[in-house]
Amino acid sequence: MDEQWIKRIRADMAYEFERTAPPEGFPAFHDIPTSRHTSTTFHDLEQQHLWPHTWVIAGRLEDVPNPGDYFTFGDLGVPLLLVRGTDSVVRCFYNTCQHRGAPVVRDARGSARRLRCQYHSWTYEVDGGQLVSVPDERDFIDLDWEQRCLPQASCDSYGGFIFVNRDLDAQPLVDWVGPLAEMLDPFGGEQLREVYRESRIIPCNWKVTAEAFLEVYHFKHVHSHDGVSVLDNRGAAMGLYPNGHSRMITPYSKQNAERLGMERWDDWKPIDVGPFPVIEGLPDMVRCTSTAVNIFPNVIIPLGAFGFPINVFWPIDKDTTRLDWIYYALPEDGDRFDPDNLPEHWKQRRQGYNSIMAEDEMNMAPIQASMKSPALTGIPINYQERRIWHLHEQIDRTIGADRVPEEMRVAPVLGAYVEW
């Protein structure tokens, strides 16, 4: 986020305020079929071709600080295990013994010199998953030890987060993140620590949940208090990135800017953020706007001067989603936060952010119910909601558009608007 980039964002916002229609030549969207949110067919396509072939956040590097430390991960629908090897490399294995399929670790977190199945005691190395011990080996005829190693999934880290991808031929994580790194790198995610986490089970498709955070068209209608909205959606500067990622930088409303001592929406300066330790080196824009990124497919990060929450959407089934949000910030006393004993300013921040999430959540279940009814046959998307279309385009690309029934597809029309 250098000066030229900031200058461009400022110009984009000014253009958004002044325009009277979408840019000339911008494509018209057809309705998004509601069956993408309700049908078993589309859900099964996602389970078979989307989630096994995309990078997702599984945890943090500090979750496995020492060799042998591990945690299990099941949000991709299969039992996985993240472990730091004696060579300090974090790897992802299937938590599946190659004898009869019992788990090689049973605790959600722990530490082990080797990974030993509790059923028949087959034992594996933490470094490469090599099979190293089989009780009563004499009773196995032609047992091929090299073919009985623990299967692996792709694993890498970025910004302190551990990512996994079940596809062993996946695009390297750094390439997959691509130009989005320009926005994320300055926050130094490795130095942040978890403040607190929340989780909700919501009776809606995961895309209904994700779509709520991909636009601010709703903001003044849902999040206004005493008739005042914190943001002005008319000036939102959005960017579409390769691999389905995107960003949205929204100026403060006139009332909020004045409250913070700003002369106008683009009077970006180091306004006071209270007692929170501030991440060094960030542009003033971060303090004076709502700056958010989407990491495809299921993560939204509202970036802030002292850290950020990550909102993560996990499908439980086609009609149910687990929505997690985990806040990360610079530690204030020691290396970690105690979520049960937070400082008063963090208690207030937690309450405030949780209230915003509750306001967003209130429409999700009713929207899912409407999508199942004959009253809503398709979802019209406007220019302000183009990040939603970008999400759906990438879903189809990842699944393979030829696999998606024609009546459920979205047209790939935004390629010319992707920033490379």
Q: How do residues 239-271 score in pLDDT, each as one tens digit?
A: 999 999 999 999 999 999 999 999 999 999 999
Residue 204 DSSP class:
S
Shared domain check, 10 and 65 = no
Quick one: 225 and 373 in the same domain? Answer: yes
- What stretches of 278-345 adopt beta strand conformation (E)? 289-295, 299-303, 307-317, 320-329
Residue 227 confidence (pLDDT) above 80: no
Can you read off the two tokens belonging to residue 39? 């049908």
Give domain status of residue 30, yes or no: yes
Phi, psi of 251 (to 5 degrees): -70, 155
Mean pLDDT of 26-48: 97
Task: Please tell me whether residue 185 adopts helix, strand or coil conformation.
Answer: helix
* pTM metric for this prediction: 0.95
Same domain, 161 and 186: no
Type of residue found at 31: D
- Label each residue of 162-214 as H, E or C: EEEECCCCCCCHHHHHHHHHHHHHHHCHHHCEEEEEEEEEECCCHHHHHHCCC
Give the residue among 304, 299, 229, 239 at the shortest CA–CA distance from 271. 304
On whether residue 174 sits in a domain, the answer given is no
The DSSP annotation for 87-125 comes to TS-EEEEES--TTT---S--SSEEE-SEEE-TTT--EEE
**310 in any annotated domain:** yes
Give residue 371's Cα distance to chain centre: 24
Point out the domain boundary residue: 143, 165, 187.
Answer: 165
Q: What is the pLDDT of residues 93-120, one digit of tens each?
A: 999 999 999 999 999 999 999 999 999 9
Cα 171-208-328 angle, rounded to 5 deg: 60
Residue 11 sits in a domain whose CATH number is 3.90.380.10
Number of compact structural domains in the chain: 2
Q: What single-letter amino acid sits at 420? A: W
Find where tokens 């183009």 sit: 386
Same domain for 126 and 85, yes or no, is: yes
Same domain, 259 and 367: yes
Average pLDDT over residues 220-234: 83
pLDDT at 226: 67
Q: Which of 113, 130, 165 is the last residue of a domain?
A: 165
Cα–Cα distance, 109 to 107 (Å, whole number): 5
CA separation, residue 402 to residues 38, 378, 420 (Å): 20, 21, 25
- Specify if 171 maps to a domain: no
C-alpha 283/C-alpha 187 separation (Å) is: 10
Same domain, 204 and 288: yes
Does 335 score more than 90 pLDDT?
Answer: no
Could you tell me if residue 238 is inside a domain? yes
Mean pLDDT of 200-222: 93
Region of 400 (left: φ > 0; alpha: ψ -120 to 50; beta: rest) is left
Whether residue 241 is contained in a domain is answered as yes
What CATH number is given to the structural domain containing 116?
2.102.10.10
Tokens matching residue 81: 């295990």
Cβ–Cβ contacts within 10 Å for residue 258, how many? 12
Determine, yes or no, domain membership for 229: yes
C-alpha of 83 from chain center: 22
Tokens of 30: 């057809």
Residues 6+ apart with CB under 8 A from 262: 252, 268, 269, 271, 288
Residue-wise pLDDT for 379-413, tens only, equals 999 999 999 999 999 999 999 999 999 999 999 99
| 239 and 188, same domain (yes or no) | yes
Separation CA 315–CA 204 (nearest Å) = 9
Per-residue pLDDT, 228: 74
Q: Give the residue from 113, 131, 165 where a domain finishes.
A: 165
**Average of per-residue pLDDT across 142-165:** 96
Q: Are residues 322 and 292 in the same domain?
A: yes
In 3D, which of 326, 343, 325 has the Cα closest to residue 334? Answer: 343
Q: Which two tokens stand for residue 234?
A: 């008319």
Whether 371 has a pLDDT exceeding 80, the answer reads yes
Q: What is the domain extent for residue 119?
A: 56-165
Residue 331 lies in a domain: yes
pLDDT bracket for residue 304 (50, 70, 90):
very high
Residues 33 and 84 in one domain: no
> Looking at the structure, do residues 352 and 289 belong to the same domain, yes or no?
yes
Q: Are residues 126 and 253 in the same domain?
A: no
- Verify that 317 and 183 share a domain, yes or no: yes
Mean pLDDT of 127-137: 95
